[in-house]
Amino acid sequence: MFNITLTLYIILTWFLALTLYFLPKKILFIEAAFVFMILSFIVDNIYTILGLNLRYILLAKEEDLFVALILYRSIIMPILALLLLNLSLLFKKTWFKALIHLAILGFLIVLELVTVEFGLIQYERWNLLLQTGTFMFLFLSAYVSFYLMRFLLKRVMR
C-alpha cells in the first residue's frame, strides 16, 4: 500500500509539472519561481504548525508515506496554485475564472480526502472545512505574491 501511495504522488507531481510546463503562460519565469517559493514556504509552515506544534493533524511516520506527504505539500499544492494563477490570467471571462477556481479547489479537496484515506495525515482537531479555508488562503497568497513580484519588477525596470 505504501509503495502505491508514493508512486501515485510521484506520477501526480510529474503530470502537474508537465501540465504547467506546456501550458501557455502569462507570467514570467521569475514571477512563477517567486510565487512557487512563497507558496511552498507557506504550505510547509502551515503543515509544520498544525502537525508538530498544535497537533491538530497527525503526520505520517513511515518513510514512503512521509515522502509522499512532502511531495504533496511542497510541490503539488504550490504547482496547483500556480496553475490556478496562470489559468486565471490566461482567460478574460469572469465566469470561466470562477469555474477554474472551483475546479482546482474541488481537485484539492479530493486530493486532501485521498491524503487522509491513504494515511498521510489524520485529522485530530481539524476538519475539511478548515482545510478548505487554508486552500483559499493559499490561492490568495498566490495572487498577492504574484502582484507584489510584478510591482517590484516594474519598479526595477524603470
Give yes or no for a contact between 77 and 111, defined as CB atoms under 8 angstroms apart: no
The model's pTM: 0.93
Rounded Cα–Cα distance for residues 10 and 79 (Å)? 13
Q: Above 90 in pLDDT, residue 2?
A: no
- The set of cell numbers assigned to 112 is 486532501
Rounded Cα–Cα distance for residues 112 and 118 (Å)? 10
Determine the residue type at 97. Answer: K
Domain ranges of the chain: 2-11+36-157
Q: What is the mean pLDDT of residues 44-68?
A: 90
Summarize pLDDT for 94-125 with one digit per residue, the tens: 999 999 999 999 999 999 999 999 999 999 98
Alpha-helical segments (H) within the chain: 2-22, 29-48, 63-71, 77-90, 94-117, 128-157
Rg of the chain, C-alpha, whole Å: 16
Summarize pLDDT for 130-154 with one digit per residue, the tens: 999 999 999 999 999 999 999 999 9
Summarize pLDDT for 59-85 with one digit per residue, the tens: 888 888 999 999 999 999 999 999 999
Asked which of 12-21, 54-63, 75-84 is least confident by mean pLDDT, the reply is 54-63
